[in-house]
Amino acid sequence: MARPKIALIGAGNIGGTLAHLAAVKELGDVVLFDIADGLPQGKALDIAESGPSEGFDAAMSGTSDYADIAGADVCIVTAGVARKPGMSRDDLLGINLKVMKSVGEGIAAHAPDAFVICITNPLDAMVWALREFSGLPHNKVCGMAGVLDSARFAHFLSEEFGVSMRDVTAFVLGGHGDTMVPSVRYSTVAGIPLPDLVEMGWTTQDKLDAIVQRTRDGGAEIVGLLKTGSAYYAPATSAIEMAEAYLKDQKRVLPCAAYCDGELGVKGMYVGVPTVIGAGGVERIVDIKLNKEEQAGFDNSVNAVKGLIDACKGIDSSLA
């Protein structure tokens, strides 16, 4: 059987890291696409030259021609611009919307059967626009944010409790912005919910509240430290987890920006929800019941995403 083909649209910080991870994990042959002259070719060659030491079998190539992504099984989209200090994700909307148009058309023309994972910010609005521009089925287009936000939450929790990250299950839903909803009730250590751990004296409510806020600010914390761009190692790892779930039909239960058609009370838009990812793409949305407080936070987040989608419609009349 031929190796799967993975097209990475955008060969910047996340794109390059995605290519390296995909190669090392032998997920398939990788095509890096970017409009920057020489960048995708240079990164592809550099990674290919790490093959003999690492011992992976995966062909790497770089291109600025959409024809070269033909027949891709997975497309991961990072094309666009990233945040600099002082910018919110929403500040990127105007520029990245235009990029989503060209990327959506490129994927539709050359890789219409691919499973598409969008990472470009502002995530929930960009994945919606990318789906609209590409015309691909909703279950084959999704956004990566929840896996990353949950990983950040899990990392902070494992540090606080002094336990292995493998035993922490953290869960963040809603839009990928300041309004995201880290769910304390659905996050556990080896199945023990966080509120029980507060009662057991493992941490205090104040410390837990601070961790929830640090999770919401997780992207900004890294932007503030790097000063020249945003996070890329953990975002790339998160998207690779989703791509692997699709390519290996793992039926992973992962939070991602998925198209909701009534689930969790959301209709006709993308927002972070728990999903099952397998060979069918986003095969299912886990329609969990939220309590009053969680629902209020989630609704607030959904409204923020709605505002961004309306802004997209205002900028590009073909979306209205």
Active site residues: 176
Q: Does 117 bind ligand A3D (CB under 6 A)?
A: no
Near ligand A3D in 38-67, by CB under 6 A: 39
- State the CB neighbour count (10 A cutoff) for residue 170: 26
| Residue 185 annotated in ligand binding | no
Burial per residue of 29-52, b for 16 or more beta-carbon CB atoms within 10 angstroms, e otherwise: bbbbbbeeeebbbbbbeebbeeee
State which of residues 10, 28, 218, 281 lies at the interface with ligand A3D (CB under 6 A): 10
Near ligand A3D in 170-189, by CB under 6 A: 176
Q: Does 119 bind ligand A3D (CB under 6 A)?
A: yes
H or E element at residue 85: none
Residues 79-98, mask of contacts with ligand A3D (x by CB under 6 A): xxxxx--------x---x--
Q: Is 316 left (phi over 0), alpha (psi -120 to 50) or beta?
A: beta
State which of residues 50, 102, 179, 237 lies at the interface with ligand A3D (CB under 6 A): 102
Near ligand A3D in 127-156, by CB under 6 A: 144-145, 148
Q: Does 21 bind ligand A3D (CB under 6 A)?
A: no
N-terminal to C-terminal alpha carbon distance within the chain: 43
In the complex, the smallest distance separating the C-beta of residue 173 from ligand A3D, rounded to whole angstroms, is 14
Q: Does 272 bind ligand A3D (CB under 6 A)?
A: no
Separation CA 312–CA 127 (nearest Å): 11
Segment interacting with ligand A3D (CB under 6 A) among 12-20, 185-193, 243-251, 267-275:
12-20
What tokens were used for 252?
């992973």
Instruction: Determine the distance from the C-alpha atom of residue 108 to the mean position of all C-alpha atoms in its chain, rounded to a whole number.
Output: 20
